[in-house]
Amino acid sequence: MENQHSFVNPTDSEDYLNSSGIKEDWGGDGRGRMNLSGRRTAVSPEYIPHQYHFFDSNNVALEHNWRIKGMPEDVVFGSRRLLTWHDCGASTSRVVLPAQFKAPSGILTVDLELFVLRGTVQIGEWKLHKHCYSFIPAGVKVGEWQVLGGEDVEILWMENGIAHYQNLSANHPDAKLHEYIPVLDSKLLPWGKTDTVQFEVAKKKYLRRDANGGGVWLLAILPHYDGHYPAIQCYNEEGYCLAGYCDIGDCHLVKDYFAYVPSFATSPWHRTDDGGLFFIRIDRDLSKVGTVISYAHD
């Protein structure tokens, strides 16, 4: 399905593989190419600076007849719930590919991140099952896609522009092949420490680091966590609850809840008795002093 917003076609430029990084609104230079700044959300069709959005992604309208632009007509449609988007075309969605889904090998014109929520999909020679992650830079040729196991696969699908399929038999000359992550099984990764004092009683699994020092990770908030204070977040964040819960202010974030927190928003007090597991994307290095600021106020 065509996106209902007016975006620039990335194929209009011969340099489209390198043109999709926008400057971050916290002062970054766009090297991370995550394009999380200035996004609209399913619960706010206009971007509102400094205002966070927490919502149940199950309540977002399901778009049927969706597939990557440029795919052959015989590729069956999937469906998606569009969660956030930017005018440059960057977006984050929950995508469902049906059990009979098959698609040919080729390249995409933008960076694509995948995190599997349920089911199994094979891309080329690699199988991605529940909680597997992949990062496919623009222009990297991947093999055929096929859903396995006779069941639909559901994926957190993150594009840094509007993805167009092209039937190329080799990598594009400008593809950043060194950044390619075919598959990463998060269950096999060790838990490490977090970067900020606000989440000392939590554990972190890095899935990818970007050029700005930010990246993608799983965050396990341990039971009996209490952040005590709100926090000013000097970066852009997307988060998805995979299990458990966390109370953030008056919002009870449980499985399938989504969070978009734009730069310099004051995120409310966090607390949980039972703990939770979250998929997180952030466009800045949180180990730097001043990126997360505790903020006590009346």
Q: For the segment 209-244, what is each residue's pLDDT rounded down to a tens digit?
A: 998 899 999 999 999 999 888 999 999 999 999 999
Sequence-ordered list of residues with C-beta below 8 angstroms from that of 289, at least 6 positions apart, any chain: none
Q: Is residue 252 part of a domain?
A: yes
Compute the Cα dihedral for 290, 291, 294, 298 and give only its sign. positive
**Against a cut of 0.85, is the pTM above it?**
yes
- Structural domain of 177: 10-187
Which CATH number do you get for residue 130? 2.60.120.10
Q: Is residue 245 part of a domain?
A: yes
Amino acid 233: pLDDT: 94
Amino acid 199: pLDDT: 75
Give the whole-number percent of the chain exceeding pLDDT 70.
92
| Residues 67, 77 contacting (CB under 8 angstroms) | yes
Residues 111 and 220 in one domain: no
pLDDT band at 17 (very low <50, low <70, confident <90, very high): low
Residues 159 and 79 in one domain: yes
pLDDT band at 159 (very low <50, low <70, confident <90, very high): very high
Q: Is residue 259 part of a domain?
A: yes
- Burial class (CB within 10 angstroms; exposed 0-12, middle 13-18, buried 19+) of 204: middle
Residues 212 and 181 in one domain: no
Residues 77 and 211 in one domain: no
**d(C-alpha 13, C-alpha 170), whole Å:** 20
DSSP 26: T
Q: What is the mean pLDDT of the segment spanning 74-83? A: 97
Residues 182 and 198 in one domain: no
Residue 3 in this model has a pLDDT that exceeds 70: no
**Number of domains the chain is built from:** 2
| Among 242, 243, 246, 256, CA closest to 226 | 246
**d(C-alpha 202, C-alpha 195), whole Å:** 10
Residues 243 and 130 in one domain: no
Q: Is residue 2 part of a domain?
A: no
Domain boundary at 187, 204, 227, which?
187
Residues 33 and 177 in one domain: yes
Q: What is the pLDDT of residues 102-130, one digit of tens each?
A: 999 999 999 999 999 999 999 999 999 99
Q: What is the mean pLDDT of the segment spanning 256-284? A: 96
**d(C-alpha 103, C-alpha 95), whole Å:** 15
Amino acid 111: pLDDT: 96
Q: Is residue 275 part of a domain?
A: yes
Q: What is the mean pLDDT of the chain?
A: 91
Q: What is the mean pLDDT of the segment spanning 8-14? A: 40
Residues 178 and 211 in one domain: no
Residues 247 and 182 in one domain: no
Q: What is the mean pLDDT of the segment spanning 266-280? A: 95
Amino acid 10: pLDDT: 38
Residue 83 in this model has a pLDDT that exceeds 70: yes
Residues 124 and 206 in one domain: no
Residues 14 and 95 in one domain: yes
Q: Is residue 1 part of a domain?
A: no
Q: Is residue 5 part of a domain?
A: no
Q: What is the pLDDT of residues 168-218, one digit of tens each?
A: 889 999 999 999 999 999 999 999 998 877 777 789 999 999 988 999 999
Residues 129 and 19 in one domain: yes
Domain boundary at 152, 187, 222, which?
187
pLDDT band at 19 (very low <50, low <70, confident <90, very high): low
Q: Is residue 4 part of a domain?
A: no
Domain boundary at 137, 156, 187, which?
187
CA angle 238, 242, 246 (to 5 degrees): 75
